[in-house]
């Protein structure tokens, strides 16, 4: 039996500081009980995942990151048996959206791919949709 996910922690991985601020404010608006663990680099998020016993509720990640890309992070998580068995929902929120990248992401069994909107209302709608879905959906760590 693997530890259940922490229903209040969301990992957000993006190299844009403005997006971290915006995402944090959106999350406080729609889900004030959630804690945001923000990372500018995928390598730091991977270290966090490897050292944390209780997996987060959700990972939201940009594809284009300096160093290890979001796709490489997903590939690394998927290749690591311990991390893969945690069944942490992994969703890309990225810009630009490129068909070949979407195809590669889904080959790595991501659970969603959203275009990062520049409209605050659209971002709020997208984040609400993602959170509502994963709060309702069952997966191996949420029964």
Domains observed in the chain: 6-136 (3.40.50.2300)
pLDDT over 70 (residue 1): no
Could you read off the pLDDT of 111-142 as tens digits, one per residue? 999 999 989 999 999 999 999 999 998 877 76
The pLDDT value recorded for residue 139 is 77
- Residue 67, by phi and psi: left (phi above 0), alpha (psi -120 to 50) or beta? left
Q: Which pLDDT does position 143 carry in this prediction?
A: 59
> What pLDDT is recorded for position 80?
96
Contacts 24+ apart (CB under 8 A), 130-134: 130/58, 130/60, 130/91, 131/30, 131/31, 131/34, 131/58, 134/57, 134/58, 134/89
Instruction: Give kind and range of the element (H or E) at residue 49.
Output: helix 42-51
User: Is the pTM here over 0.85, yes or no?
Assistant: yes
**Higher per-residue confidence, 130 vs 6:** 130
Whether residue 37 has pLDDT greater than 80: yes
Residue labelled with tokens 């069944």 = 87
Residue 65, H or E segment: none
% residues pLDDT > 70 (the chain): 93
- Under the banding of pLDDT at 50, 70 and 90, the label for residue 7 is low
Question: Residue range 92-108: average pLDDT?
Answer: 96
Tell me, what's the pLDDT at 84? 93
Q: What integer pLDDT is reported at residue 6 of this predicted model?
A: 59
Q: Which residues are 37's β-sheet partners?
A: 11
What pLDDT, on a 0 to 100 scale, did the predictor assign at position 138?
A: 86
Give the pLDDT confidence score for residue 116 in this predicted structure: 94
């Amino acid at each position: 039996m693997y530890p259940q996910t922490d229903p209040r922690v969301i990992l957000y991985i993006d190299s844009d500081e403005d997006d971290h601020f915006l995402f944090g404010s959106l999350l406080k608006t729609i889900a004030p009980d959630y804690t945001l663990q923000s990372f500018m680099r995928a390598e730091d998020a991977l270290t966090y995942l490897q050292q944390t016993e209780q997996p987060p509720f959700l990972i939201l990640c940009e594809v284009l990151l300096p160093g290890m890309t979001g796709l490489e992070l997903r590939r690394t998580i998927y290749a690591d048996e311990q991390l893969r068995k945690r069944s942490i929902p992994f969703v890309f929120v990225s810009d630009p959206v490129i068909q070949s990248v979407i195809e590669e992401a889904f080959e790595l069994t991501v659970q969603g791919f959203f275009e990062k909107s520049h409209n605050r209302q659209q971002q709020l709608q997208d984040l609400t949709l993602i959170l509502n879905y994963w709060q309702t959906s069952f997966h191996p760590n949420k029964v």
